[in-house]
């Protein structure tokens, strides 16, 4: 393809052509909105590093989830801030724990909205780690039992899907087994298959009050330098029965998203994490970037890298922009009927 026989600009010359040859589309059906459910009543507390994102008590979660549903966002993923924390994260699997009560309220009030739950211990343990501590480190196999209990209690409360984010080995199998043995064969597992030990989680730890009280998460989350290890991690989860595999964070790991897309034939999700959100919000506030444009370009980058689903704090904004018919040359079409 040589100039002047070939001219790449011919097909870019008209809006109608650009629309015809666009390779990637973004739809509201691709979006999953993360929410932080807090104990109490009348609570709606903005996360200082995440403008527009709140810790909310259940009735406010329900109201915002209703809004998300009406905008065409098909699913939310829930994180819980319990009243009390302890060494074994009891509230994570309590029948009337914060998440369990939030699930019940959502399934009652917004029944068609899919409720996904984050399955992990770090929001519920007083030490802030993702499992049970033994000899100064998280004990893998003891943690598995609690994760299975937690996932089961979410399913019993009515969760539509569970998403383990702890990075213990064997958790997908442990969760699949307990769900299958208790009448929840139909509940899918979306595995945080590839989760890096990342500085981009900083604002989330403020939002979920889940900062580790000693050490860090490097003995269970992945080394940002590794790509082949990501394939091994995902391979394990696929063999253990994961229904969707996730890569997290998103933007700094688009190569890994593409690797998943090429390597596996399961749906791939990407988590556009808190730090990625905060950076766009901060630069937008300063007037340094066109915020809407950068948000939509970021979403498109996930789709182009091969993601089917995007977990993003921008979900409500993105849905609104899609409905407004955000200029097709920058974004896609909305997924509404
Ligand atoms: C809990 C969990 C974390 C995130 C999702 N689930 C934080 C962590 O591992 O420290 C991060 C999400 C975000 O930064 O938006 N294991
Ligand atoms: Zn955790």
Residue in 85, 149, 195, 303 annotated catalytic? 195
- Rounded to 5°, the CA angle 31-329-323 comes to 45
All residue ranges of the chain with pLDDT < 70 are 327-337
Residue nearest to atom 2 of ligand 1 (CA): 165
Q: pLDDT tens digits for 251-300?
A: 999 999 999 999 999 999 999 999 999 999 999 999 999 999 999 999 99
Q: pLDDT tens digits for 96-126?
A: 999 999 999 999 999 999 999 999 999 999 9
Q: How far is the CA of 285 from the centre of ligand 2 (A)?
A: 30
Residue in 45, 107, 108, 248 annotated catalytic? 248
* Contact criterion met (CB below 8 Å) for 255 and 226: no
Q: Which of 56, 64, 50, 26 is nearest to 316 (CA)?
A: 64
Q: For ligand 1, is residue 54 a contact (CB within 6 Å)? A: no
* Contact criterion met (CB below 8 Å) for 320 and 12: no
Strands 50-56 and 44-47: what pairing? antiparallel
Q: Which of 138, 112, 142, 113 is nearest to 127 (CA)?
A: 138
Q: Which domains does the chain have, with CATH numbers?
A: 9-330 (3.20.20.70)
Strands 50-56 and 268-272: what pairing? unpaired
248 forms beta bridges with 195
Q: For ligand 1, is residue 130 a contact (CB within 6 Å)? A: yes
Q: For ligand 1, is residue 98 a contact (CB within 6 Å)? A: no
Alpha-carbon span 217 to 265, nearest angstrom = 29
CB atoms within 10 A of CB 311: 27
Nearest-ligand number for the alpha carbon of 199 = 1
Q: For ligand 1, is residue 201 a contact (CB within 6 Å)? A: yes
Q: For ligand 1, is residue 274 a contact (CB within 6 Å)? A: yes
Neighbours of ion ligand 2 (CB under 5 A): 120, 122, 130
Q: DSSP string spanning 197-230?
A: --GGGHHHHHHHT---SSS-STTTSBPTT-SHHH
Residue spans of beta strands (DSSP E) within the chain = 31-38, 44-47, 50-56, 75-81, 114-119, 133-134, 137-138, 161-164, 190-195, 244-248, 268-272, 309-312
Backbone dihedral angles phi then psi of residue 50, each to the nearest 5 degrees: -135, 75
pTM reported for the whole predicted model: 0.96
Q: How far is the CA of 3 from the centre of ligand 1 (A)?
A: 49
CB atoms within 10 A of CB 126: 12
Q: What is the structure's pLDDT at 332?
A: 52
Q: What is the structure's pLDDT at 1?
A: 87
Q: Which of 75, 62, 39, 48 is nearest to 315 (CA)?
A: 75
Residue 195: active-site member: yes
Q: How far is the CA of 17 from the centre of ligand 1 (A)?
A: 41
Query: What are the CA-CA distances from residue 299 to residues 12, 123, 225, 250, 269 (Å)?
Result: 21, 28, 24, 10, 12
Q: pLDDT tens digits for 186-198?
A: 999 999 999 999 9
Q: What is the structure's pLDDT at 326?
A: 82
Q: How far is the CA of 214 from the centre of ligand 2 (A)?
A: 14
Residue 134: active-site member: no
């Amino acid at each position: 393809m040589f100039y002047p026989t070939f001219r790449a600009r011919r097909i870019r010359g008209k809006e109608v052509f650009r629309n015809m040859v666009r390779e990637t589309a973004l739809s509201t059906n691709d979006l999953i909105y993360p929410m932080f459910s807090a104990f109490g009543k009348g609570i709606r507390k903005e996360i200082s590093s995440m403008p527009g994102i709140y810790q909310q008590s259940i009735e406010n979660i329900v109201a915002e989830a209703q809004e998300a549903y009406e905008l065409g966002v098909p699913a939310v993923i829930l994180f819980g801030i319990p009243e009390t924390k302890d060494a074994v994260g009891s509230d994570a699997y309590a029948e009337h724990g914060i998440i369990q009560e939030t699930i019940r309220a959502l399934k009652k009030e917004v029944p068609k909205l899919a409720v996904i739950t984050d399955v992990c211990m770090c929001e519920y343990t007083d030490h802030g780690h993702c499992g049970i501590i033994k000899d100064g480190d998280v004990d893998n196999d003891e943690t598995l039992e609690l994760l299975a209990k937690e996932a089961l209690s979410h399913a019993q409360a009515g969760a539509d899907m569970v998403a383990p984010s702890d990075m213990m080995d064997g958790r997908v199998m442990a969760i699949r087994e307990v769900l299958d043995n208790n009448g929840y064969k139909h509940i899918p597992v979306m595995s945080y298959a590839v989760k890096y030990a990342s500085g981009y989680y900083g604002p989330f730890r403020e939002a979920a009050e889940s900062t580790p009280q000693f050490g860090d998460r490097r003995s269970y989350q992945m080394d940002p330098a590794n790509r082949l290890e990501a394939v091994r991690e995902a391979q394990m989860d696929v063999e253990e029965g994961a229904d969707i595999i996730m890569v997290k964070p998103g933007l700094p790991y688009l190569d890994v998203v593409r690797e998943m897309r090429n390597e596996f034939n399961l749906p791939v999700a990407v988590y556009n994490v808190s730090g990625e959100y905060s950076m766009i919000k901060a630069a937008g506030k300063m007037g340094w970037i066109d915020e809407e444009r950068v948000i939509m370009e970021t979403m498109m980058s996930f789709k182009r890298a091969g993601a089917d689903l995007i977990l993003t704090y921008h979900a409500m904004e993105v849905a609104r922009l899609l409905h407004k018919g955000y200029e097709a040359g920058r974004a896609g079409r909305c997924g509404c009927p």
